[in-house]
A and B are shown apart, each in its own frame.
Chain A
């Protein structure tokens, strides 16, 4: 799959793996891909998002979501519309679990570090972006679009910072 990635896009994937390793996470998740994409303040992803979206703001939003069962502000708002208070649900669950149990799997650094289900989906949606434009090379912009289209945690976090799929896509054409 990676043969179609541009050099900068490959670097993002490698950085994401390193981010996961550093954090001691068991998987390479969407979160690590986003950190890698926005690692450079003047990188393509930051430029496409209008420069308002900084790594510090992104990390803060992911931290908040982690404490809330992986729900972004956008997710929490969507569920509030159904009468579900995510904070209350998570607090209820946490009461019966050891602290940090909701943080996600941890493991000591090992050789094999697979991508999470959501990260895999985001990567395959990034490839779909390239295919839909009848292009060959998958760049950083496609990784960003793939993450936004995946509608999982990364899309919610970025949406909370004012980044939407349609806007980024429009900026490209």
Chain B
């Protein structure tokens, strides 16, 4: 990083550990997909154990409508 010609944008990058933003963004995208995958599996397991949408929503910290909309139909 060229310290003498630092712009606001490069300042930000430096604050995040002086790495290529692409690396961090890709890691976040991968983490989000992993999270989606695990959430889907856990919700399906809960449904198979007879859990109601309200119970699932409470554990996930979302509204019943949100949980049902996201997981009511199988999609990923």
Contact = CB atoms under 8 A, between A and B. Distances in A.
Q: Report if A and B associate in a common complex.
A: yes
Interface of A: 26-27, 29, 69-71, 74-76, 78-79, 81-82, 84, 86, 89-90, 93, 97-98, 101-102, 104-105, 107, 114, 116-118, 151-153, 156
B61 to A, nearest CB: 18
Contacts of A82: 27, 31
Q: Is the interface of B mostly helix, strand, loop or mixed?
A: helix
A91 to B, nearest CB: 12
B68 interface: no
Interface residues of B, number: 19
A116 B76 contact: yes
A78 B45 contact: no
Contacts of B3: none
Interface of B: 23, 26-27, 29-31, 33-34, 37-38, 40-42, 44-45, 48, 74-76
Given A27-B74, A78-B30, A101-B41, 7 more contacts: A27-B75, A69-B37, A78-B23, A78-B26, A79-B30, A97-B42, A105-B75
